Amino acid sequence: MGLCYKLFRADVRPHGSEGMDVEGLGKLARWDRPPRAHVGSGGFDPWFVGTSSAQEASPAQPIWTVPEIGALPSNTYGRLVRRGRDLITATYAYIGPEVADRAKRFAGNNLACSNCHLQAGTKKFGIPLFGLFGAFPHYSARSGAQITIEDRINFCMTRSMNGRPLPAGVPEMQALVSYIKFLSTGVSPGQLLPGMGTGKMPELDRAADPARGETGYANACVACHGPDGAGIRRSLPTTDLGYMMPPLWGNDSFNDGAGMARLITAANFLHFNMPHGVDYLNPQLSPEQAWDIAAYVVSRPRPHKAGLEKDFPDLLEKPVDAPYGPYADGFSEQQHKYGPFAPIRAAIAKLKAEQKGTPAPR
């Protein structure tokens, strides 16, 4: 569809940080690509799903590219998709807490969706949105039920954006869904593209340390996000122009029910994307630094989402790094928040095996 970028095949490697050949991605599969799905630690969530190594390594696989939004015609559909992209990149300006129309104040903070879904949802291992549309509806372990793509967007609205749900019929929801569908143009049903989620680096064999992370934050993060984690506003707080650099904690950040409030998500996101401008080909933070800095960030105060105890009705499907109870495995909230996670996974595997009447894996 028109001009495209970010090629996805073994024999094509774009310049710079925009893509990676599939053979190279296959090499990364040993440790820094996400698993096929977080089964057993939170269920299937295509926001964070990985790709199979066989898929990555196939040189005969047709090229898939992120479609070029600039090639869309200026008709009703083209304007709807562009509106969806604008809602991703400037959420605060359209549905933020300071917009003039109070009825449109769906987001509870001045973040943008693209603060987590980098480059308007098109960056590999920057929680991309491409290729997701066909994965819905699907079962959500968090809700214990089938969810639609609109439901999944509203998970972000009520958690990452600390706001209220968008009704399915409002123009903003229709635009967001249309944009995500557009980013899935040419993706075959069931196809898992490389670069999904946040990546997967080695875990520590100790608990991540917020005290060490505070030092790392001062060295690597404070220039952009500030000593108080408040970020940098584009202009005076009386406007709805959002942030140049987003707040990482505090009243205008994501709440404690957001995916980024979980250590595994935050640490991998930091390692493969931060400081600003870094990508997974040339990470600047070591895995240990990323784990500890993420621990410091998630330890800081942020808005509380009511009703978190209702998440994951099947507690054996709760992510090991969910920083709030209840739990089925007997480990403390402290260990779930900071790790180490291997003992928790082993306990959950044992409980599942006992539930099924099969021997536990060793």
Q: pLDDT digits over 44-68, tens only?
A: 566 655 443 333 445 566 788 999 9
pLDDT of 9 > 50? The answer is no
pLDDT at 47 (0 to 100): 61
pTM over 0.75: yes
pLDDT band at 240 (very low <50, low <70, confident <90, very high): low
pLDDT at 87 (0 to 100): 98
pLDDT band at 243 (very low <50, low <70, confident <90, very high): very high
Which of 262 and 6 is assigned the larger pLDDT? 262
Residue 9 burial (CB count, 10 A): 19
End-to-end Cα spacing for the chain = 49
Amino acid at 1: M
Which of 188 and 325 is assigned the larger pLDDT? 325
Angle at 302 between CA 279 and CA 105, to 5 degrees: 90
Q: Are 77 and 178 in contact, with CB atoms under 8 Å apart?
A: yes
pLDDT band at 13 (very low <50, low <70, confident <90, very high): very low
* Averaged pLDDT for residues 206-214: 98
pLDDT at 11 (0 to 100): 30
Residues 6+ apart with CB under 8 A from 358: none
Question: Residue 299 and residue 159: Cα distance in Å, rounded?
Answer: 17
Tell whether the torsion through CA atoms of 207, 208, 214 and 216 is positive or negative. positive
Which bin fits 121, alpha (ψ -120 to 50), beta or left (φ > 0)? left
User: 3-class SS at 170?
Assistant: coil
Q: pLDDT digits over 146-161, tens only?
A: 999 999 999 999 999 9
pLDDT at 288 (0 to 100): 98
pLDDT band at 1 (very low <50, low <70, confident <90, very high): very low
**How far is C-alpha 300 from the geometric centre of its chain's CA atoms?**
19
Tokens of 166: 């968008």
pLDDT of 175 > 70? The answer is yes
Question: Residue 197 and residue 41: Cα distance in Å, rounded?
Answer: 15
pLDDT of 105 > 90? The answer is yes
Q: Among 1.10.760.10, 3.40.50.300, 3.40.50.720, 1.10.620.20, what is the CATH number of 210-356?
A: 1.10.760.10
Which of 243 and 43 is assigned the larger pLDDT? 243
Which of 203 and 35 is assigned the larger pLDDT? 203
Question: Residue 113 and residue 121: Cα distance in Å, rounded?
Answer: 8
Give whole-number Cα distances, 36 to 32, 342, 348, in Å: 12, 18, 19
Tokens of 227: 């000593």
pLDDT of 217 > 60? The answer is yes
Q: Tell me what percent of the residues of the chain surpass a pLDDT of 70.
A: 81
Tokens of 197: 């989620």
